[in-house]
Structure 1
Amino acid sequence: MGGGEGDGGMELRTLRYLLAVADTGSVSAAARRVHVSQPSLSRQLRGLEQSLGIRLFDRRDGRLSLTSAGRDFLPIARDLVTRADLAVKAAATIRSGVLPSITISCPGTTLTDVIAPFLATWGAADPMPGVWEESPPAIYGSLQRGADLAIGTEPPPPELGRLPIATLPVWAYVPAGHRWHGRAFVPVGEVVDEHLLLLPPEQHARRALDAAVAAAGLGYGPTTEFGTPEVAQAVAAAGRGVAVVSDDARFGLWPVAIGSGRVGVSISLFAAWSRGHHAEEAIRSIAQRLADFCGRRYGRPRPRR
């Protein structure tokens, strides 16, 4: 707001004087509240009226009362002062590196099976979270669109801060009565002989299975694609095939790990954030907590670096 100390411009300080007079009902009480002399406060209020071109107060018998114009202007002044105070507090928060809220971007499966359970462990002292569901190719680009922390399945670009989070198995889900029910592990060569219920090729679990099948020199038998892992599992529960996804089990299905040689088919999760973010250390701490959470839930991470 323009205006210097003595030129009567509409400064926040002068608006605070206006609010003090309106709230206390007298110049003397307002002067005590804002710690200035009565003549100085009166002079500042006259300067404010001159700069605005309206009369804010009626002056009778040494007392001030708001005019109709003053009553109309008062909520505007109060809003401006409140917003300025909030801006100062926000700047102090930014300087301190505190993170009052955090936006996390991730694929839908990661949101449901990893991020949502992790957020359920947070307390009142943690930032208020928001989550964006993003397609895998768009994950790390979301950091340029306002996300604070991105969780992806490919190693982040080198210019980003990063942390390996987890290695998650890709499961072959079968219903009770299937010949694999009760097994812990099945070779990829047996998997391709089944009618597979798969996700689209851009999904991380599908990409991991495609790579394992190609590395083994194999091809698929009959397959059906579904847009969501929940539907793939539902169709598997109906006995129409084997769902290959990385989600947690649903509909009473039995999870069987898929093997490729001596290594299970899996996907890696990485956390990434923008270097130089004003709350980089707080974001890194949250990423480490997520890695620890996944370690307890799924085992320690072994992702590619």
Structure 2
Amino acid sequence: MDLNLREIRAFIAVAEAGSFTRAALRLHLSQPALTVQIRRLEETLGARLFDRNSRNVALTPVGRELLPVLQKSLREMEHVLLDARALSDGSTGTVRIACLPSFAASLLPDLVRDFRQQVPGAVFDIRDVVASVVNRLVRSEEADLGLTGGEVVDPSLEVLHAGEDRLCVVCPVDHPLARKRRIRLENLVGYPLVLTAAGTSVRAVVDAAFEQAGVAPVLTCEPMYMMTAVAMVRAGLGLTILPGSSREIHAEPSVVARVIDDPRFVRRIALIKKRGRTLPPVTEAFVTALAPALEGTRKGKGK
């Protein structure tokens, strides 16, 4: 049985108006066209819905039973259509994004706020995790977007936009490095370091830089989170190296950050999705809003 929305609307209009003529005017149809729609619905249902003569129209017992059922069904189907249109035009929907913690705590909140001012129906499902987990969540389609760090070599992932984040050494305000105008890798050698744990995108960049220089860092602690690393610097356990975009390095007044003037201390970042997958319209719109922020990191803004 194939029920047609137009035919259901026609039935309800006639039932509520008590007249084919008035119902046809309400629906902007000719009376013969309306009659055809009612006849088709009756054929589909296998029952007569109206008793009619030259003077009036009355619902049959079957019509009376069906009227509230079809009214409810029509309301539900119209809500489905409205929801579908909202999803398709990007005015509502959920943006599922996995992203680096440094991005989640710095650029993302303002971007989400500004985007929701333009698209109040947008909802955000945010997973702030290390780069390897970002890639896995996008690959498994648990997230539609990923803001990841390092080179993207997985062929199942597509880079939508790319940027970069220069790394900084974070030290106490009275540390000798705090007074230097330019800091290079050789200035870091010999100082105890608090480095984020293996598997983080920042640690991968730092390890590669020291390896290329042929020296080994002096490690004291390996926390997972940047805020913990900053707290350990404050406690005198060593220096740390963090992205220039991270808010953690500006939240503690007893430490300062100095950009490392070395191209090896640059973390590549990329906005990714699963290759071959279509993004929801609301997510596509958020990608458009994200692009200028990533372009800003590529140009060295916001460091």
What amino acid is aligned across from residue 105 of structure 1 in structure 2?
A
The yes-or-no answer on 1:155 pairing with 2:151 is yes
Aligned to 2:260: 258
Tell me the CA shift for residue 296 of structure 1: 6.7
What amino acid is aligned across from residue 130 of structure 2 in structure 1?
S
Q: Does the CA-based 8 Å contact 1:57-1:64 persist in structure 2?
A: yes
Task: For 2:112 and 2:123, locate their aligned partners in 1 and report how far apart those are by CA, in whole Å.
Answer: 8
* Structural mapping, 1:215-226, within 5 Å: 215-226=212-223
Alpha-carbon deviations, 1:90-112, whole Å to 9, x = none?
Answer: 66x4xxxx786654432222222
Task: For 2:241 and 2:58, locate their aligned partners in 1 and report how far apart those are by CA, in whole Å.
Answer: 77
Q: Does the CA-based 8 Å contact 1:151-1:271 persist in structure 2?
A: yes
The yes-or-no answer on 1:30 pairing with 2:26 is no
* Structural mapping, 1:73-222, within 5 Å: 73-84=70-81, 86-87=83-84, 93=89, 102-122=95-115, 124=118, 128=122, 130=124, 131-140=126-135, 142=138, 145=141, 147-157=143-153, 162=159, 165-222=162-219
Instruction: Give the direction of change, closer, same or farther, for the CA distance of 1:135–1:177 in structure 2 (3 Å limit).
Output: closer
Tell me the CA shift for residue 27 of structure 1: 3.2
Alpha-carbon deviations, 1:193-234, whole Å to 9, x = none?
Answer: 333222111111111111111112222324211121112112
Instruction: Give the direction of change, closer, same or farther, for the CA distance of 1:89–1:209 in structure 2 (3 Å limit).
Output: closer
Tell me the CA shift for residue 163 of structure 1: 5.7
Task: Choose between structure 1 and 2: higher helix proportion.
Answer: 2
SS at match of 2:240: strand
Q: Does the CA-based 8 Å contact 2:86-2:92 persist in structure 1?
A: no
Task: For 2:38 and 2:197, locate their aligned partners in 1 and report how far apart those are by CA, in whole Å.
Answer: 68
What amino acid is aligned across from residue 168 of structure 2 in structure 1?
W
Structure with the larger RCO, 1 or 2 (CA within 8 Å, 6+ apart)? 2
* Structural mapping, 1:45-84, within 5 Å: 45=38, 47-48=40-41, 51-52=44-45, 62-64=56-58, 67-84=64-81
Structure 2, unaligned runs of 5 or more? none
Task: For 2:173 and 2:49, locate their aligned partners in 1 and report how far apart those are by CA, in whole Å.
Answer: 80
What amino acid is aligned across from residue 181 of structure 1 in structure 2?
A
The normalised TM-score by structure 1 is 0.72
Aligned to 2:6: 13
Task: For 1:22 and 1:14, locate their aligned partners in 2 and report how far apart those are by CA, in whole Å.
Answer: 12
> Which range moved further: 109-118 or 155-164?
155-164
Q: Does the CA-based 8 Å contact 1:149-1:283 persist in structure 2?
A: no
Instruction: Give the direction of change, closer, same or farther, for the CA distance of 1:296–1:120 in structure 2 (3 Å limit).
Output: farther
Instruction: Give the direction of change, closer, same or farther, for the CA distance of 1:30–1:134 in structure 2 (3 Å limit).
Output: farther
SS at match of 1:155: coil
Aligned to 1:303: none
Tell me the CA shift for residue 57 of structure 1: 6.6
Number of matched residues? 285
Tell me the CA shift for residue 28 of structure 1: 2.5
Task: For 2:160 and 2:203, locate their aligned partners in 1 and report how far apart those are by CA, in whole Å.
Answer: 23
Structure 1, unaligned runs of 5 or more? 3-9, 300-305
> Which range moved further: 54-63 or 31-40?
54-63
Q: Does the CA-based 8 Å contact 1:175-1:236 persist in structure 2?
A: yes
* Structural mapping, 1:240-279, within 5 Å: 240-246=237-243, 247-248=246-247, 249=249, 250-252=251-253, 253-259=255-261, 262-263=262-263, 265-273=265-273, 274=275, 277=278
Task: For 2:230 and 2:16, locate their aligned partners in 1 and report how far apart those are by CA, in whole Å.
Answer: 64
Tell me the CA shift for residue 132 of structure 1: 4.0
Instruction: Give the direction of change, closer, same or farther, for the CA distance of 1:173–1:125 in structure 2 (3 Å limit).
Output: same
Percent identity between the aligned chains? 21
**CA-based RMSD:** 3.9
Q: Does the CA-based 8 Å contact 2:168-2:258 persist in structure 1?
A: yes
What amino acid is aligned across from residue 271 of structure 1 in structure 2?
L
